[in-house]
Amino acid sequence: MIKASGLKLRFCTNETQATRGKFVEKLQRLGFNISVNEVTAPAPAACRVLRERNLRPHLLVHDDLVPEFDQLDKANPNCVVIGDAADNFSYKNLNEAFRVLIGLENPILISLGRGRYYKETDGLKLDVGVYMKALEYACDIQAEVVGKPAKMFFQSALAEMEVEPQQAIMIGDDIVNDVGGAQQCGMRALQVRTGKYRPCDEQHPEVKADGYVNNLAEAVDIIVKQLHK
């Protein structure tokens, strides 16, 4: 419906456990009409940064994400890229990433998000942000975060659409990562009352959504109606 209205559309995800290809397949199975080049995700955003700065990454990521970095030179690494590596977050692998960083004159840690934890069917799981903090403390450095809520992440989504922030609207369920991040970048942002949404988000001390909708369909209705006014 968004697409039929001639509006440009972009899916912004912090998914770092799989390639965009896998992510799109999942959404297609759920009935979304979506292709890989409509997805903004941390791994390709990181690849752009790495290429621009001639960085060769040591990867501490999920096995299924590795193909996103296929095109990059990874020999003799001069930075570490950390994603939601799940079971790859072993003591051995964390030590290896640490040794790469501590061996660099100017240690660069690029993190594909700053999330604390997420829920899976078998319970809560620690997210990439937790291991980012671990390596930050170990090396006394600050990671560069690629992914929501980083301003740069939303900016690259806008750039890909060739749209100005004030012309765009973000719809998401996460008050800080979605709404806060988009607003910092100059976009308006709606929070959907589904998924991660909790009623207390509407009294969040730092972030105030530009509006609330009960679900994604309602958001689309409102936007399309505005368009035809």
- Chain residues that interact with a copy of itself, rule: CB under 8 A: 85-92, 94-95, 98-99, 102, 116-117, 123-126, 129-131, 133-140
**Spatial distance between the Cα atoms of 138 and 70, rounded to a whole number of angstroms:** 28
Q: Min. distance of Cβ 169 from a copy of itself in angstroms? A: 30
Q: Min. distance of Cβ 138 from a copy of itself in angstroms? A: 5
Q: Min. distance of Cβ 136 from a copy of itself in angstroms? A: 8
**Spatial distance between the Cα atoms of 145 and 176, rounded to a whole number of angstroms:** 15
CB nearer to a copy of itself: pick between 45 and 60: 60
CB nearer to a copy of itself: pick between 52 and 140: 140
CB contact set of 135 (below 8 Å; sequence gap of 6+): 80, 82, 94, 97, 98, 101, 109, 141, 143
Q: Min. distance of Cβ 17 from a copy of itself in angstroms? A: 13
CB nearer to a copy of itself: pick between 71 and 203: 203
CB nearer to a copy of itself: pick between 94 and 179: 94
Q: Min. distance of Cβ 82 from a copy of itself in angstroms? A: 12
The identity of residue 16, as a single letter, is T
CB nearer to a copy of itself: pick between 52 and 87: 87
What angle is formed at CA 225 by the lines to CA 220 and CA 227, rounded to 5 degrees?
Answer: 100
In DSSP terms, 145 is beta-bridged to 111
Q: Residues 91, 93, 97, 98: what is their CA dihedral angle, to the nearest 10 degrees?
A: 20
Strand, helix or coil for residue 126: strand
